[in-house]
């Protein structure tokens, strides 16, 4: 997990779940190096499901130790279109921490050069918000989302690593 630090106070305000692959010959590979190799395979979806489960599990462990941090998970827009994405998220929460406070998990949609790619997943995002916001009230986010929904607002800017490479 990579800490997220408030630049003003210097306090850790959250963490980001980062996946690395320890390849026997090449060593430790970053997502930039291995995700393109699996992005068109179901392995990418299975890995995403595993990351969701581990993030919720870790958030609960830290909570039990008195450490309450938000864990961010990176999600590609096409993962939101995967048929079981919402159910996978619902299961991760209901199995590993049914009473998880809503501010302990943040899904970050990975930037894409084609912003129109987000159009087909708008309903999935709204349904996912319903699942996450109601999971600790109804034992796992049961029920259908209401027809009237509020728009999401961006709460935190995320400055990407690439912006700091030449600073």
Summarised one tens digit per residue, pLDDT across range 96-123 is: 999 999 889 888 877 654 445 556 677 7
pTM above 0.75? no
**Number of neighbouring beta carbons within 10 Å of residue 74:** 20
User: What is the rounded distance in angstroms from the CA atom of residue 95 to the CA atom of residue 56?
Assistant: 9
Look over the chain and give the mean of its residue pLDDT values, rounded to a whole number. 77
- CA-based end-to-end distance of the chain: 23
Enumerate the H helices of 7-166 as residue ranges: 31-38, 42-64, 77-80, 85-96, 122-134
Higher pLDDT, 42 or 122: 42
Q: What angle do CA 24, 28, 33 make, to 5 degrees?
A: 105
Which of 58, 46, 43 shows the shortest CA–CA distance to 1? 58
Quick one: tokens of 9? 């106070």
CA separation, residue 96 to residues 17, 118, 136 (Å): 16, 29, 12
């Amino acid at each position: 997990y990579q800490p997220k630090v408030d630049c003003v106070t210097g306090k850790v305000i959250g963490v980001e779940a980062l996946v690395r692959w320890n390849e026997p010959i090449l060593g430790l590979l970053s997502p930039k190096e291995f995700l393109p190799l699996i992005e068109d395979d179901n392995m990418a979806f299975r890995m995403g499901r595993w990351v969701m489960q581990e993030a919720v599990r870790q958030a609960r462990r830290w909570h039990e130790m008195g450490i309450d941090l938000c864990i961010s998970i990176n999600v590609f827009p096409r993962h939101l279109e995967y048929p079981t994405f919402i159910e996978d998220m619902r299961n991760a929460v209901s199995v590993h921490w049914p009473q998880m406070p809503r501010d302990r998990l943040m899904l970050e949609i990975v930037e894409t050069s084609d912003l129109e790619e987000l159009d087909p997943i708008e309903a999935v995002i709204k349904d996912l918000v319903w699942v996450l916001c109601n999971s600790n009230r109804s034992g796992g986010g049961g029920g259908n989302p209401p027809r009237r929904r509020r728009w999401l607002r961006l709460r935190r800017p995320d400055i990407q690593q690439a912006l700091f490479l030449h600073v």
